[in-house]
Amino acid sequence: MTHILHIDTSPRLERSHSRSLAREFLEQRKLHHPETTITHRDLARHPVPYIDHTWVTAKFTPAAEYTPELATAIALSDQLVDEFLAADRYILSTPMYNFGIPAVLKSYIDYIVRPRRTFAATQNGFQGLVTDRKMILVQARGSDFRPGSAYDAVNFQEPYLKTIFGFIGITDIETINANGLNTELRDQELANAKTTLHTLAITW
């Protein structure tokens, strides 16, 4: 049985293209694979606080040495990491903001990229601990960031997400990009994204 963690980030809520595409994928997934279970994490409706000094101290302190203050500071992070590790597949839907990712998503990533939990430092360098998982990135962009386009060189969204999730061990990543949603490309890009997602809902 497949367990999917669905992470939404867009503050546009029901007007969001990334949310709509991810939701359509999951509906098709359940239709073709009814045994699939889904956990939904909505970072726009329930944002994760920014990290602070106490949290950083707790991050690098072994759990056996936690003070009550450190245990409280790291509790939400532990909950989010446990939820993340409980899934074997992920669908992350996000808009592009200022060539990158929304702040709520960056904060979430800071909470789940944890030494001894999702990565390890070894004599041979860093090692991702979240292995044998798959991810789909659903990314919505207002302008045209297709390969070879004028804005392709300033697309910091996809390279960052592939790098950070690859760092913790997730390297099997499908990307579904809806580009130019504020341009004449919109209808065709959305149609292409939906077609690809419908296929993935069956085969992924």
Contact (CB, 8 A) for 92 and 42: no
Who's near 109: CB < 8 A, 6+ residues apart? 164
Which residue ranges in the chain fall short of pLDDT 50?
A: none
Q: How far is CA 118 from CA 57, 65, 160, in A?
A: 17, 20, 17
Structural domains of the chain, with CATH: 3-203 (3.40.50.360)
What gap in Å lies between CA 74 and CA 88, rounded to an integer? Answer: 23
What gap in Å lies between CA 78 and CA 115, rounded to an integer? Answer: 12
135 burial level (CB within 10 Å; 0-12, 13-18, 19+): buried
The Cβ-side half-sphere exposure at 96, using a 13 Å CA radius, reads 29
Bridge partners (DSSP) of residue 115 are 119
Contact (CB, 8 A) for 18 and 93: yes
Contact (CB, 8 A) for 173 and 165: yes
Pair of tokens at residue 28: 């098709």
Q: Give the pLDDT of residue 1.
A: 86
Q: pTM for this structure?
A: 0.95
Smallest CA-to-CA distance from 174 within 203, 141, 149, 145 is with 203
Sign of CA dihedral 29, 45, 89, 95: positive
